[in-house]
């Protein structure tokens, strides 16, 4: 998954989560996060950065348009899968010429501004913490 696609997915998740919280389908961010398997700190962060105003809507008074937007938001959040087998493949080139088939990594909550999914698995740079060394010329300049 490319970084742009991951950011788009994260934006759709955020928009859908905030809609369901504003319409009081879920009363607390924690309830929504547990229901859809999203990280708690992420949903709390999204909710904290809004005005946190809600509109109580009776379910029997829903217009067809409101029902459709609620259903779409729920589908977007249900489409988010924490399960590995539903995530895209890493795709890094291996030494034997094939591509890696491991699932991409879910970033930690602090990294969700870059997108919820990394573009590689944990072995090929998804969440690796190693420091990458820069080449140094004979002159001492970094490249």
pLDDT in tens, 7-25: 888 899 999 999 999 988 8
Distance CA 133, CA 63 (A): 58
pLDDT value, residue 133: 54
d(CA 42, CA 18): 12
Give the relative orientation of helices 64-79 and 3-22 as an angle to the nearest 10 degrees: 130
Q: What is the CA radius of gyration of the chain?
A: 20
CB 117 within 8 A of CB 107: yes
pLDDT at 72 over 90: yes
pLDDT of residue 105: 84
**Domain range summary for the chain, segments of one domain joined by +:** 3-81
Least confident of 40-44, 80-84, 99-103: 80-84
Spell out the residues 6+ positions from residue 101 whose beta carbon is closer than 8 angstroms to its own. 89, 90
The structure tokens listed for 43 are 């949903």
Q: How confident is the model at residue 118 (pLDDT cuts 50, 70, 90)?
A: confident
Asked whether the beta carbons of 92 and 103 are under 8 A apart, the reply is no
CB atoms within 10 A of CB 89: 14
């Amino acid at each position: 998954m490319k970084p742009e696609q991951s950011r788009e997915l994260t934006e759709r998740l955020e928009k859908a989560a905030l809609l369901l919280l504003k319409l009081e389908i879920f009363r607390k961010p924690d309830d929504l996060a547990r229901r859809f398997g999203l990280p708690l700190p992420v949903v709390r962060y999204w909710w904290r950065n809004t005005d946190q105003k809600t509109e109580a809507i009776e379910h029997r008074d829903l217009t067809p348009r409101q029902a459709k937007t609620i259903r779409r938001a729920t589908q977007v959040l249900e489409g988010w899968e924490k399960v590995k087998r539903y995530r895209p493949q890493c795709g890094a080139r291996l030494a034997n010429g094939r591509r890696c088939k491991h699932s991409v990594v879910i970033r930690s909550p602090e990294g969700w501004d870059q997108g919820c999914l990394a573009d590689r698995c944990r072995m090929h740079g998804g969440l690796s913490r190693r420091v990458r060394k820069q080449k140094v010329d004979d002159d001492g300049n970094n490249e």
